[in-house]
Structure 1
Amino acid sequence: MSKPWRGVLYAVLLIAAVYYLLPLYVMLSTSLKTMDEIRGGNLLSLPGAISFDAWRKAWGTACTGIECSGLSGYFWNSVRMVIPAVLISTALGALNGYVLSKWRFRGSELAFAMLLFGLYIPFQVLLLPMAQTLGWFGLARSMAGLVFVHVVCGIAGTTLFFRNFYVGIPDELIKAARLDGAGFWRIFLRIVLPMSLPILMVTLIWQFTQIWNDFLFGLVFSSGESQPITVGLNNLANTSTSVKEYNVNMAAALIAALPTIAVYVLAGKYFVRGLAAGAVKG
């Protein structure tokens, strides 16, 4: 690429970066201002004097009774929800993908097609049957029920990722391991799983982002002390107080977004590398 065109490309990329980072800048600068400065200042202006009062108020205290004051209780609810949901759905997706790609059985293609069909069902359609299922299991409006919902809804996507990745592993490798006497679990744990690091990072990041940012299931299938941070953020933004505290709302939104931002900053390159390694092939 010639130098003039390279300069144009860099300029376009710079403009795009500014465009996407501007809302983040506005949120951060607003969260560090006082309400008096927000009312009398410019939206894009830097804080005159940095104040963390809005952050302290947004974080608040832990859950007590049936409500949470601030986001701290909701935040830890999301942590307790997202860790088991991500690990279980990823583990089941890896196992399903391994079976559907290397240990095919009669009807395996139909089973895979049904899993894919589940990806195209709107979540709103699942609310009533899922609520009935949680009621039968005694998990309604509980943290365990919320984890169950996310695991069930995440299996189809994780299975697709792993199945398409495992298709690229040579069948001869699996056959050689069988000839050496290795069984189902030994091949999976000793050979296939260690080769799965790229797609494992893809599914972990994907599932973490989807579950952490979910609002619909958190609103419908949780209550009181089991509500996740997205519900807490909605409650805080729609508080019944007469004064709209924009700095507190911006600080709360950043607190809710920090885990996913951190995940992408620390592991984003593995996400791209995993996709390139075969997450969408097959």
Structure 2
Amino acid sequence: MRQRVLRVLLFAVLCLFCLYYLAPLFVMITTSLKPLAEIRSGSLISLPKQVTFDAWGKAWSTACVGVRCNGLKPYVLNSVIMVVPAVLISTFLGAINGYALTKWRFRGADTIFAMMLFGAFIPFQVVLLPMARVLGVLGLAGSVYGLILVHTVYGLAFTTLFFRNFFIGVSDGIIRAAMIDGAGFFGIFFRIVVPMAPPAIVVTVIWQFTQIWNDFLFGIAFTVGDSNPVTVALNNVVNTSTGVKEYNVDMAAAIIAAIPTLLIYLVAGRYFVRGLAAGAVKG
């Protein structure tokens, strides 16, 4: 009986924490579905009396982002153009690095890994000036393609860490047997190692996607105008006013900017947990 009471209390406490955590999302959704007049006259947590998606349409296509009133649509496209190649490239290079550092060990491998691991703890602000200089030399300053390079380079430390710690658990005997059969570096990688690594790949992709999509500092530092990612555009939407603060549009814009990361976790969240349990971030 006592154990059942404790379980009920624990369940109640967890429900309270869940409600507390979801309260901001509830306010955002309900506010985005209300007309502006209802927002001003009603309660913050009240349900909409008249559901309307006008704020969503405006946030997507006509909201003013600075002096440009074309909504978030082009900036969402910028983020997609930035995120997809940055995630794929950094994940692939991280897998190659982790594989080489564990299964094709060479003199100084541990030192190289330690130096790369150190890069994972360098604050964003420290690399702003060096990255700006590099992008200027390469002619990529102020563009989405420059941002792809920035996120790929900065993400290599994390992706290498994830794959290196996963590949440590792969039997060396399998690799040696493949070598005896005549398989080379990339043959073993693509035919043996990669098919064994879905847990690490899922963890890495989710991590990189979330970090890159939600990034604001690199976006505002290395892009300008029409090349801004959606996070920078969202900030400009919220801070742009023509005399009337449209809270419903701001909330709709914030949800639009957050939808991709929410979908990633809803679709692949269980695989993320499986990847963690499989040792993708253990070492």
**TM norm. shorter chain > 0.5:** yes
CA distance in 2, matches of 1:228, 1:196: 31
Letter in 2 for 1:14: C
Q: For the Cα contact (< 8 Å) 1:71–1:232, is it kept in 2?
A: yes
Q: Which aligned pairs between 1:88-127 and structure 2 lie closer than 5 A?
A: 88-127=89-128
Correspondence for 2:73: 72
Task: Return the offset for 1:242.
Answer: 1.6
Task: Return the offset for 1:280.
Answer: 2.1
Percentage of pairs with the same residue: 63
1:53-102 CA-partner distances (Å, limit 9, x unpaired): 100110015999x9462111111110111000000000000000000111
**1:68 and 1:203, CA in 2 relative to 1: closer, same or farther beyond 3 A?**
farther
Task: Return the offset for 1:2.
Answer: 2.5
Q: Flag as ranges the 4+ runs of structure 1 deviating above 2 A.
A: 61-64
Letter in 1 for 2:58: K
CA distance in 1, matches of 2:249, 2:218: 25
Correspondence for 1:159: 160
1:162-218 CA-partner distances (Å, limit 9, x unpaired): 000000001111111111111111110000000000110000000000000000000
**1:94 and 1:62, CA in 2 relative to 1: closer, same or farther beyond 3 A?**
farther
Correspondence for 2:198: 197
CA distance in 2, matches of 1:134, 1:232: 22
Correspondence for 1:243: 244
Correspondence for 1:258: 259
Q: Which aligned pairs between 1:179-194 and structure 2 lie closer than 5 A?
A: 179-194=180-195
1:59 aligns with 2:60: yes
CA distance in 1, matches of 2:96, 2:34: 50
Task: Return the offset for 1:133.
Answer: 0.3
Task: Return the offset for 1:3.
Answer: 1.4
What secondary structure is seen at the aligned counterpart in 1 of 2:278?
A: helix
Q: For the Cα contact (< 8 Å) 2:64–2:237, is it kept in 1?
A: no
CA distance in 1, matches of 2:119, 2:69: 34
1:209 aligns with 2:210: yes
Letter in 2 for 1:281: K
Q: For the Cα contact (< 8 Å) 1:29–1:47, is it kept in 2?
A: yes
Structure 1 length-normalised TM: 0.97
CA distance in 1, matches of 2:69, 2:249: 16
Which segment drifts farther, 204-213 or 2-11? 2-11
CA distance in 1, matches of 2:167, 2:275: 12
CA distance in 1, matches of 2:112, 2:151: 20
What is the alpha-carbon root mean square deviation over aligned residues?
Answer: 1.6
CA distance in 2, matches of 1:269, 1:192: 22
CA distance in 2, matches of 1:248, 1:168: 49
Letter in 2 for 1:73: P
1:81-137 CA-partner distances (Å, limit 9, x unpaired): 100000000000000000011111111111101101111111101000100000111
CA distance in 2, matches of 1:14, 1:34: 31
Correspondence for 2:271: 270
Letter in 2 for 1:4: V
CA distance in 1, matches of 2:27, 2:227: 31
CA distance in 1, matches of 2:120, 2:201: 19
Correspondence for 2:40: 39
**1:160 and 1:167, CA in 2 relative to 1: closer, same or farther beyond 3 A?**
same
CA distance in 2, matches of 1:36, 1:104: 66
Q: For the Cα contact (< 8 Å) 1:63–1:225, is it kept in 2?
A: no
Structure 2 length-normalised TM: 0.96
The number of residues matched between the two structures is 281
**1:272 and 1:205, CA in 2 relative to 1: closer, same or farther beyond 3 A?**
same
Tell me, which stretches of 5 or more residues in structure 1 are unaligned?
A: none
What secondary structure is seen at the aligned counterpart in 1 of 2:197?
A: helix
Correspondence for 2:3: 2
CA distance in 2, matches of 1:191, 1:2: 48
Q: Which aligned pairs between 1:165-180 and structure 2 lie closer than 5 A?
A: 165-180=166-181
CA distance in 1, matches of 2:241, 2:162: 44
CA distance in 2, matches of 1:8, 1:178: 58
What secondary structure is seen at the aligned counterpart in 2 of 1:281?
A: coil
Correspondence for 1:221: 222
